Amino acid sequence: MHSKWDRSNVLALAKEDCTQCRGFGLRGKSGKGEETPCNCVFRAIFRACYTRFRYCASGEKHISHARLEQVNGKDNRHNWGMKDEEFMADFCLVAKRYLTPLEHRIFRFHFLLGADWKLCCRQMKMDRGDFFHIVYRMQQKLGRVFKELKPYPLYPLDEYFGGSVRTSLTTVDRKLFEMSPKFLRRFRLVPPLRKVA
């Protein structure tokens, strides 16, 4: 997993009064000499995905419907899908895969079942400080994973749900650019010369 992080894609997510990044979203240099995103950015990404998860889960089930969506790639195919249900499944499965057993138990109780911190602490026999440290660590870990997941990240949400998709030229597009103008003239569109009634 690797995603390019720069100031333009972390500035809006950064917490204004963060003591680590001072609201800029990037902090310190890593071993490779790069600035790394602040933990407040990862927590913001997690919260955005969790808010969308709750929105999808609270929707009326009879309103949910399958949608036809274009799949960019070599063939530019179309698939039927239920994006809300797919997002909820991805959200839960990614959490299960990347969290430790203890973190996943807290994730299930607190985020999926809606138990408050008091109930979680009593049920899991831990104090408040330990609980919130684990919750913050979980949010940071999952926020990074949701953004850097390959090949299809959960964040940004508009790309996941089919709004704007940032892709490079497909193989088919490259072949069209490489074709000779003589070949492409056969596919030229000719508008009608007279008005059709």
For residue 155, what are the domain limits? 7-159
Q: How many angstroms separate the CA atoms of 182 and 4, rounded?
A: 40
Residue 108 within any structural domain of the chain: yes
The answer as to whether 188 is a domain residue is no
Dihedral sign for Cα 124, 132, 39, 27, please. Answer: negative
Number of H helices, E strands in the chain: 8, 4
Residue for token digits 């990862």? 42
Q: What is the pLDDT of residue 23?
A: 82
- The whole-angstrom separation of Cα 55 and Cα 189 is 45
**Plot region of 23 (φ>0 → left; ψ -120 to 50 → alpha; else → beta):** left
Q: Is residue 169 assigned to a domain?
A: no
pTM: 0.72
Q: Is residue 72 part of a domain?
A: yes
In a domain, 180, yes or no: no
Q: How many domains does the chain have?
A: 1
Is 187 within a domain?
no
Structure confidence by residue, pLDDT tens digits, 54-109: 998 887 765 666 666 666 666 666 667 788 888 999 999 999 999 999 999 999 99
The token pair that represents 106 in the structure block: 């807290």
Amino acid at 71: V
CATH code of residue 13: 1.20.140
Residue 189 within a domain? no
When the pLDDT of each residue in the chain is averaged and rounded to a whole number, the result is 79
Strand pairing category for 26-29 and 35-37: antiparallel
In sequence order, which residues have a C-beta less than 8 Å from that of residue 11 and are 6 or more positions away?
A: 24, 25
Q: What is the pLDDT of residue 176?
A: 44
Whole-angstrom Cα distance, residue 56 to residue 179? 45
- Give domain status of residue 174, yes or no: no
> Residues of the chain whose pLDDT is less than 50?
1-2, 164-177, 179, 184
Distance (Å, whole) CA 74 – CA 88: 28
